[in-house]
Chains A and B, each alone.
Chain A
Amino acid sequence: MERISQSQLAALIIMFQIGSTPLFLLGKDAGADAWIAVLIAMAAGLLLLLLTLCIHRLEPGKELMEIMNTYFGKYIGYVFGIAYFIYFSYQSVRNLREFGDLTNLYLLPRTPLPVLIGCLLLVAGYAVWHGIEVFGRITQILLPGICAMYGAFLIAIYATGLFDLHRIEPFLDHGVMKVIDAALPEVLLFPFGEMVLFLMFWKFADRKKHTFRTTALSYAGTGCFIILTNLFIAASLGPIAQISVAPFIQLVSQIQFASFVERLDPFVAALLFTGVFIKLTAYFFGAAFIGRHLVKADQRYIVVSVGVILLVGSLWFRSFMQHIWIGFEYNLKYHFPVFQIYLPALILIVMLLRSQLRANGSRRS
């Protein structure tokens, strides 16, 4: 079986968590206190992460689909499998669409959307084709570059003099409840609650006893990083941040120092590209792995057919605005919690109950 090392797992988690999130202002509703909302969401996300890690701990050699098959039986497991297949594909589609639209907006206004999405999908499919090991290696190589670029941006923003802490004062002006309202469940579900996907990947990690520590540390580190970028966006743009489509790009376009470091937005596009690519590919992997269980077919056919599904799915939205609106109005409220909170909780409870029953049974006999 393919193996990824602990450092590759860490890179994967970090890149997956970062994704495209630093480019947006999370917890907009909390206004200037958005970063506190992110902090709260991250803490709550840690609980969700513990939940999924517990599932993994109980069955370290199995991935989500196999766990569901073992504990719910073949038929219910299959139904849940289909549900998760749809969920992973849908997440992948959302990333794909988001990237396509932002590229259309900022980089290539005249290129048709299907071309952009198709190209990105080809690259992602190529990665999935080569398997999880190669994917792990890519994230490991990209990670230092991405970190360096973000670091350079933050320094440049600071050097330009955009960063002003007064913009986010006074803290908690509208009370704690408003911040918590903003954080839960929106920010919790995106991006922190998405770690449920890693139930598909943990199985491949070697030296499994470190998995817990690696995951928790990478998660916490990335969370802090996202808080930092959020703080930067809020403190540098002020109220504009809340009405901008992609505030980080707007922020970077204002960078101007040393008389030649300016107009850096295409570099943000590079960051966006890499982040979205990693996230989209990770979900693509998740969908393909589950697809392999659902339809017992050759992996190559599955990669291609999942790719086609994603392409069609991403062109389904009528516009970027509809895509965002569906995301916030429906998905975050009704759909995502099911997959990110309720189902994992159910799985864990069933696992615990059954292992309890088995323990009792063995004691009795």
Chain B
Amino acid sequence: MRQFWVRKKKSNKARNGSNKQSVTSASSAGMNQPISAHLPTNVEWLYNELGASSDIVTRKIFDAAFGMEGVLIYIDHLVDQQTVNQMIVQPIIGMAAQNPDVRSPLDGMELLKNKALSVGRIEEVRTLGEALDQLLGGHTLILLQGCQAAISADSAGGEKRPVEEPSSQTVTRGPKDGFTENIHTNLSLIRRRIKSPQLRINSRQIGTQTKTQVSVVYMKGIAKDGVVKEVMARLDRIDTDSIMDSGYIEEYIQDAAFTPFPTIQSSERPDAVSAGVLEGQVAIIVDGSPFVLVAPVTFTRFFQSSEDYYQHYDISTFLRFIRFGGFLVSILLPSLYIAISTFHQEMLPTPLVISLASQREGVPFPALIEAFMMEITFEVLREAGVRMPRAIGPAISIVGALVLGQAAVQAGIVSAAMVIVVSFTAISNFVIPYNNMGNASRIIRFVMMLLGGTLGLFGIMAGVMVMLIHLASLRSFGVAYLAPLSPFMRSSWKDVFLRMPRWAMKNRPIMMSSNNRTRGGEGQKPKAPAIPGHEQDPSPEPKS
């Protein structure tokens, strides 16, 4: 696996060379240059390549008296000091003391590799370019005089955040760990959940400057081979200088370029990602981002929380209906209110019409403008809530609730009914477990409001129809976005609107998994044995 992404790196390099646009391309001629036998040349090259940055540490090990010369190089902020000191420097010094009879540099190299260094991952690098990459990856390089190779020992370290509860996808019951920015931590969170040899991790580096590690995680034999290949092909196609978050990757590899709907899921929860991987989805983990991408994904997946599977199935099913309802409300409620109060008052019961009319009596704006004002106000409040410093929170909520809500109604700028509609819409938006689907509904809501305000119910119906057509035309890595609703797949309906009990869902959903579909055995429905002590006929007649 390691070999694999070393290979990838080279291809990236080659591309840079041809593009002649990246910063390193000027000196990239030397990238494939082999390590020379002359030690100072190598050290000088590396030094120059890194611009003699102040955080490069070189240390002379061995001296001429020992029979060979060597230098140890690492970048201060990328390595774990303790590893370098205890696992690399100390053994080398010990070796120098114990084995004074090393004759050739190659001898010394073998000795270092096989006996002295107590680091798990050790590699031999042959070109300067590779050596540089290793150095930037947090490895410690050991260069020996007269040796055309260098030893690279993994000493990567640096500060990392501990595993904490996910902040964006919370549950009341279920695992509380969340992904962090460190890819090794994230991979271990998944590996520890799925102890199967079929779990495959395939890594590569993306970003000519950032060289961000991106790992593709999938279950061999469960994920469709075509999807896995497609994911890798799309990742390999990315040619950019930097990856800061999985959001960058998502925009490069998603199916439709222009759609408000997310066609790739992103999750902060290792349990959700593992469950997806076990159903045949492919996870894409990006170093530096706690949000892991999962593909392919269908529309209905965005309404399933991982908690659905930890709670009892009846309440989970109920909650799913609430979520779908919330999504509809979030998209349609303001537009319906506008359309009905502007064009189709006859739809409402007479007392309600009168009450609404009396509320709107002093309001100077048409319903559409009124609704737009309130919706924009809410969006501003929401954005402010995310961006503002924590300490100002209470002040904002007081201003938002009292001044904007109550006072606006009292001042006769908006009607109370509109405030109710807008607040309920806003709250409904948050029942959708995945934030990006919620965002889609926010944008569509405004379009629908315009349609409802100009063409009434007819406009809303046309809008909904266009939305449906658009949804039906979307695909996520070859999987129809609206599956299993359409194309209709009855066998996968057990986990869409309903959440059937675990023992009833003995097959994986058909959309994502390959032919290997069976999760577990038959007859898993719990059957309570008779109460102990009452197995026999409860009334044995005494024989007397």
Decide if A and B are genuine partners.
yes
Interface residues of A (CB under 8 A from B): 5, 7-8, 103, 107-108, 111, 115-116, 119-120, 122-123, 126-127, 130, 134, 136-138, 140-142, 260, 262-263, 265-266, 269-270, 273-274, 277
Beta-carbon nearest neighbor of A253 in chain B: B346
Per-residue contact bits, chain B 327-348, to A (CB 8 Å; 1 contact, 0 not): 0000000000000000110111
CB neighbours of B343 from chain A (8 A): 107-108
A138 touches B459 (CB 8 A): no
- Choice from B457, B469, B480 contacting A127 with Cβ under 8 Å: B469
Is B458 a contact of A134 with CB atoms below 8 Å?
no
Check: B244 CB closer than 8 A to any chain A CB.
no
A108 and B488 alpha carbons, distance in the complex (Å): 36
State the main secondary structure of chain B at its contact with A.
helix
Residues of A within 8 A of B466 (CB): 123, 126
Given contacts A5-B488, A107-B344, A137-B480, contact A273 B461 (CB under 8 A): yes
Given known A266-B457, A269-B458, contact A7–B344 (CB-CB < 8 A): no
**CB of B262 within 8 A of chain A?**
no
Q: At the interface, yes or no: B472 with Cβ under 8 Å from chain A?
A: yes
Closest residue of chain A to B345 (Cβ to Cβ) is: A263
Q: Within the assembled complex, what's the spacing in Å between the Cα atoms of A273 and B466?
A: 13
Interface residues of chain B, those whose CB is within 8 Å of chain A, are 343-344, 346-349, 455-459, 461-462, 465-466, 468-469, 472-473, 480, 482, 485-488
The answer to whether B461 touches A270 (Cβ under 8 A) is: yes
- Chain B residues contacting A141 (CB-CB under 8 Å) are 468, 472, 482, 485-486
B469 contacts A126, C-beta separation under 8 Å: yes
Further pairs besides A263-B348, A265-B346: 19, Cβ < 8 Å? A8-B486, A103-B458, A107-B458, A108-B456, A115-B455, A116-B455, A119-B455, A119-B458, A122-B462, A127-B469, A130-B469, A130-B473, A136-B486, A137-B480, A141-B472, A141-B482, A263-B349, A265-B347, A274-B465
Interchain CB contact (< 8 A) of A140 among B455, B456, B457, B486: B486
Complex interface: chain B residues within 8 A of A7 (CB): 488
Query: Is the beta-carbon distance between B349 and A260 smaller than 8 angstroms?
Result: yes
Query: Measured between C-beta atoms, what is the minimum distance from B491 to chain A in Å?
Result: 13
Q: Tell whether, in the assembled complex, residue A134 and residue B488 are in contact, meaning their CB atoms are under 8 Å apart.
A: no
Q: Find A119's partner among B346, B462, B482 (CB 8 Å cutoff).
A: B462
Neighbour of A263 across the interface among B346, B465, B469, CB < 8 A: B346
Residue among A136, A138, A262, A269 with most chain B CB within 10 A:
A138
Cβ-neighbour of B469 out of A5, A107, A108, A138 (below 8 A): A138
**Nearest chain A CB to B439's CB is how many angstroms away?**
23
- How far is A264 from B108 in the complex, measured between Cα atoms in Å? 90
Q: How far is the CB of B199 from chain A (nearest CB, A)?
A: 34
Nearest-CB residue, chain B, relative to A272: B461
A5, A108, A136: which contacts B458 (Cβ < 8 A)?
Answer: A108
Instruction: Identify the interface centre among B347, B349, B469: most chain A CB within 10 Å of its CB.
Output: B469
Report B-chain residues with C-beta under 8 Å of the C-beta of A138.
465, 468-469, 472, 486
**CB-nearest residue of chain B to A103:** B458
Nearest B residue to A6 via CB reads B488
Q: Which residues of A contact B472 (CB under 8 A)?
A: 130, 134, 137-138, 141
Bound CA span A55–B362, Å: 67
Question: What is the CA–CA distance of A116 and B461 in the complex, to the nearest angstrom?
Answer: 12
C-alpha spacing A140/B489, complex, angstroms: 12
A269 to B347, CA, bound (A): 12
Residues of B within 8 A of A5 (CB): 487-488
